[in-house]
Structure 1
Amino acid sequence: MGISIRAYARHRGVSDAAVRKAIKTGRITPEPDGTIDPQKADAEWAANTDSAQQRKQGRRKAVPVDAVNTVREATGESALPSGGTTLLQARTANEVLKAQTAKVRLARLKGE
């Protein structure tokens, strides 16, 4: 006896709909009682999944500390709030960084 479809989905870190689809398309096979053996299903999932059709994890760019510090100086903030950098601060830092980058590019194009 294995685990339920929902429990296996939690184990894999996917939705239960993804597990049901994998069963329907034959990528994994359930036990006769309808449960799933996690070790067997993990091996089948790895063997029968086309890696070319998997979504790639997007790389996220971190906001440079200098940009965040520039925003803090501009807004007069001296310490981080309890939750860290706020969305407004991150967006402002991103815009400041874009403006600084554009200024440097323009200076290069002008030959300065």
Structure 2
Amino acid sequence: MGEPALKGLTDHVIKQLSTPEINSGMLVVILSLLAHLLYTLGGISVASRETPNNSLVGMLSNSSMTVRVKTILALQTQAEVDASSANNLLLCGLTTLRALRETVFVEKGSFD
């Protein structure tokens, strides 16, 4: 595949990330493909970053451990190919995980 075809495939994969009825198995495949495409292309355009970034951060709280691991691998790939955007993305992801931890802590505390 040439670069234009890979960019088109990347755009299609990114759109699939925000599909609400997608199951965990498909997410694993899509995240693996996205990581491969990021590595092959050396990142994604600035205009296309917001959708996958928001989706990836949201997937850190997915109930499937495999999805969370694949999300982290996709984030790692993005950090390797585009360190400038990865810093903000990882900080946002850490903030989200801390908020989730606090939510779980408060919910556990309310059952005592």
Question: After TM superposition, is the score higher than 0.5?
Answer: no
What TM-score, normalized to structure 1? 0.29
More helix by percentage: 2
Higher RCO structure (Cα 8 Å, ≥6 apart): 2
The structure whose Rg is larger is: 1
